[in-house]
Amino acid sequence: MKRLIIIITALFAFNAAQSQVYDPVKWTFAAKKISKDEAVLFLKATIDNGWNIYSQHIGEGGPVATSFSFTPSGDYQLSGKVLEPTPNKKFEKTFNMQVLYFNKEVVFQQKIKLKKGQTIVKGAVEFMVCNDQQCLPPDEKIFAINIK
């Protein structure tokens, strides 16, 4: 009986380890007013060692590109596109192509024109994360950034 309990406990522990949920990217969101009617949004990804997220500029057949969507509002207007720093580049056999990616940390920036002094900018970021052995399904994080 004791042996059976040990085997069952080991099986449960093995299943728990197999169903481990990975969350290798942590997002933080902030804003800074640069004038009374302009602000910059900072969309920062902190990426666990060994993992990558991808640029907004990925070709057909590659991993899911990072993309941002903003909830329309009469309080602000997007000014230009979301900017990103210069990404790393490498050939990935999985996708059989050159990919543009970020590791460790990346800060995307979006300028906005304010039509109101204070507002909340809402939206979402969709991204895909991979390491040398696997890619996780695309994920989406919702955000709400206070601008004062």
- Cα 103 from Cα 107, distance rounded (Å): 11
- What is the pLDDT, as a whole number, of residue 12? 38
- What is the pLDDT, as a whole number, of residue 21? 77
Q: What is the pTM for the complete model shown?
A: 0.85
Per-block mean pLDDT, blocks of 10 residues, the chain (148 long) = 38 42 94 96 98 96 96 97 98 92 98 95 98 95 97
- What is the pLDDT, as a whole number, of residue 17? 41
- What is the pLDDT, as a whole number, of residue 94? 83
Residue 121 burial by CB count (10 A; 0-12/13-18/19+): exposed, middle or buried? buried
- What is the pLDDT, as a whole number, of residue 1? 43
Cα 95–Cα 99–Cα 100 angle in degrees, nearest 5: 155
- What is the pLDDT, as a whole number, of residue 109? 98
From residue 33, alpha-carbon distances to 3, 29, 68, 81, 130 in Å are 65, 14, 20, 17, 34
Return the CATH fold of 22-147: Immunoglobulin-like (2.60.40)
